[in-house]
Amino acid sequence: MVKTVSIATLICALSIGGVSAKEFQEHNNMMNHGDGHLMDMDGGMVMGQNTDTLPGGCDKIAATKEITVRAGHKYSEKFPGTMWAFDQQEFQFEPCTKLTVHFINEDEIRHQWMMHGLPKYMYPKGMFHLEVSGPGSVSGTLILPPGDKTYLVHCDIAQHMEKGMKAQLKVGKGGEDLPSIPGVTASVFPDDYSGKPFSLQEFVTQETQAKIASAAAAIAASAPKTDAQTNGNAGAADESFLSGVTVVGLAIGIIIGPLLTKRFKGMSVGEVVATVFELISHSIGFTVELIAKLVKKFLGKKAIPLPDK
């Protein structure tokens, strides 16, 4: 009897051990591989670390900042349709700031804090990248470039960004907002809970309507400014030119939209993408051929003949 109980206890203990959470791990003793690449064998990684080289255009380090960013499933709960998120979706720093990011992963899976669009001459592939597999923390430092720009920050594990783990980091005033930042900017593909099957025709119509509405709003917003402006005709001409371009673009969109819908009807998304790429590559090929012909026509006679061997 005692033996049975103790075996049962042992099995219980083992099974509990098997499903228990991984312990939180501070990845602060990583191997330095040079070029800002640090890692350990437990899933901690820093890539593109730069603690002392000033990017071109920075005279000095403008400020020294430290932030703690948490990643986890629980932060996605306030954003319907998402699965993962950072605890913050937007960051803003002065140009040339030396920034240290303490990245904490609160999930049992792998997450990253990956920043894109940095100058490639000093950040490999233009990236600064922190990564932790399972619950733990990792810290890395970079020096932000000068200028006003908005950088994409995301987790690159398949579907993590698409399912919410996406943020933007503004340097200076930032540039244009990125789409689909949970709670910050509108989603490119809003979730549809209607239960109706996907209709490309309807999707294109909705997209076109949304574009017309936003263009109309932009025109309406710029109209009173134009009247109030005392800058002279140049400013007004610029704005009317812009709205002219917008209107022409919209007209083309409205005409081409239904044609494309017809062309792509019944195709899967993959097929649509493949067809679009095919069309693009055909038109590029055609243009290159045309240019080559023109060049040959105009320069052909002047070309210096190669010496005979």
In the complex, the residues that contact Cu ion under the rule CB under 5 A are: 111, 155, 157, 160, 165
Nearer to Cu ion, 102 or 211 (CB): 102
* C-alpha–C-alpha distance, residues 207 and 257, integer Å: 10
Cα atoms in the Cβ-side hemisphere of radius 13 Å centred on 118: 26
Rounded to 10 degrees, what is the CA torsion of 247, 249, 250, 254? Answer: 140
The burial class, CB within 10 Å (0-12 / 13-18 / 19+), for 112 is buried
Nearest approach, Cβ of residue 70 and Cu ion (Å): 12
Nearer to Cu ion, 165 or 181 (CB): 165
Nearer to Cu ion, 87 or 239 (CB): 87
CB contact at 8 A, 73 and 142: no
Q: What are phi and psi of 113, to 5 degrees?
A: -120, 95
Nearest approach, Cβ of residue 112 and Cu ion (Å): 6
β-partners of residue 99 are 65, 142
Closest CB to Cu ion: residue number: 155
Nearer to Cu ion, 50 or 89 (CB): 89
Cα atoms in the Cβ-side hemisphere of radius 13 Å centred on 309: 0
Beta-carbon count within 10 A of 109 CB: 15
Whole-Å CA distances, 61 to 139, 174, 231: 19, 18, 37
Nearer to Cu ion, 48 or 164 (CB): 164
Nearest approach, Cβ of residue 168 and Cu ion (Å): 17
Nearer to Cu ion, 88 or 229 (CB): 88
